[in-house]
Amino acid sequence: MRYCRDMHGYGQTPPAAEWPDDARIAVQFVLNYEEGGENCVLHGDAASEAFLSEIVGASQWPGQRHWNMESVYEYGARAGFWRLHRLFTEKQLPVTVYGVATALQRSPAQVAAMVEAGWEIASHGLKWVEHKDMAPDEERAAIAEAMRLHTLVTGERPRGWYTGRCSVNTVDLATEFGGFDYISDTYADDLPYWYEHGDRQQLIIPYTLDANDMRFATPQGFNSGDQFFSYLKDSFDALYAEGAAGSPKMMSIGLHCRLIGRPGRVMALARFIDYVQSHEKVWIARRIDIAEHWAKTHPPKPATERPSQMPEAEFVERFGGIFEHSPWIAQRAFAGELSPANDTAIGLHAALAFQFRAASDEERLGVLAAHPDLAGKLAQAKRLTASSTEEQASAGLDALTTEEHARLTDLNNRYVTKFGFPFIIAVRDHTKSGILAAFETRIENDRDAEFAAACRQVERIALLRLTAMFRDGQALHPLGQRTAA
């Protein structure tokens, strides 16, 4: 079983963004231009639009025009766009437009203003319609037609892609189409990341649905400009503080001409822009600028072997000795659910430890019995595994005095006689004296308590071994990499 979703990403330590001029945050304003590309029977669609408007509870009208809905969208093109254009140009802010190709074609004056202002015009698909039920070939054709039409309307091929109302295939299909500096059909992170599909590595710049004026038109959304401003300010403050603490992130703000372009809302956006511009070390950028920076500063790394993608024989060979002489644990882990989250030391340990814990007491006893005595006959005969040899040496157990060796031999004999398995401890966590002290304490346990203690130590040893492997690059994959389904 393989679970394609990546629930790990960059993990606890995301990469240093290294934004220009040591910025603490990268802020990016997206203006969605959809007016004229929405569902409408005039556009050859089966029904009217019902998404993201002032009409509460709107539903599609099959085979009919919805005059009110059409006029709401028309407001965005006729009035809202120009109000926002004045605001952004007066504030001298760079903007990325998500332009629906058919909407752009129907708005030549607006497109000319975007180009003159130096705004990036990324593709927002061919039409502002749902893609979730499209067959791959149909969606692939829609992407190609969007590229053709966008290029003819704007004079340039778009370098960024965002469908919005996407399908499960959208990102893969756009990656296959090729030529995009970035794709934004995910909301999975605060930083860009590389996505792997086939033999291609595609840069993903995540977008936002929370710092987005669409919530003026959704249940439990914003009902006033003050709420919108407050939410944007809190988001900015949190990310700015993280940047000041050494972990800069990216903040995207999603806007729509027909929503934030209303006079009762636009002043909240203006206040937020003033707030952002009052701070030092803020990089306000277009998404293409962020893409170029990330590709240069954090280029894709060659894909190394990932545990979740290895063939079974290689997986078992590589990790069958993590639990001492017990390859069946690796075999069961391989047969279980593995995902990108298991491609780290902690993640792979979780998969292996799960199988160890799920095993019978007899099977776990076999794992305990497979461990060698500390500084015992196998060590003297140099017949330990490489891992055990290194671990025992790390605590000085290969250099015992005669007195220490005699004491340890006595403890080993008494322990095995009492419990039926050798004393096990993660020696990398202890000094020689600490190991001897733990031995003296644990030998007084009852059998059940010591069995549980020994199992915990077996798991700890396994984690330390995996941590060393990943640190040395033997099993690590590029952090933050996504693998296609």
Catalytic residues: 371
* 3-state class (DSSP) for residue 161: strand
Task: Report residue 254 as tokens.
Answer: 């999603």
Helix or strand run (H / E) with residue 335: helix 327-335
Phi-psi group of 270: left, alpha or beta (phi > 0 → left; psi -120 to 50 → alpha; rest → beta) = alpha
Give which of 418, 318, 328, 408 is closest to 366, Cα–Cα.
Answer: 328
Give which of 149, 151, 127, 148 is closest to 139, Cα–Cα.
Answer: 127
- Cα dihedral 248, 254, 260, 261 sign: positive
DSSP-derived pairing of the beta strands 249-256 and 25-33: parallel
* CA distance linking residue 361 with residue 341, whole number of Å: 28
In this structure, the number of other CB atoms found within 10 A of the CB of residue 463 comes to: 18
Q: Which long-range contacts (CB under 8 A, 24 or more apart) does 317-320 make?
A: 318/474, 318/475, 319/348, 319/352, 319/466, 319/475
Give which of 350, 326, 15, 319 is closest to 191, Cα–Cα.
Answer: 15
Q: Name the residue type at position 260.
A: I
Task: Report residue 336 as tokens.
Answer: 């279980």
List, in sequence order, every beta strand (DSSP E) within 114-192. Answer: 120-123, 160-161, 182-183
Helix or strand run (H / E) with residue 251: strand 249-256
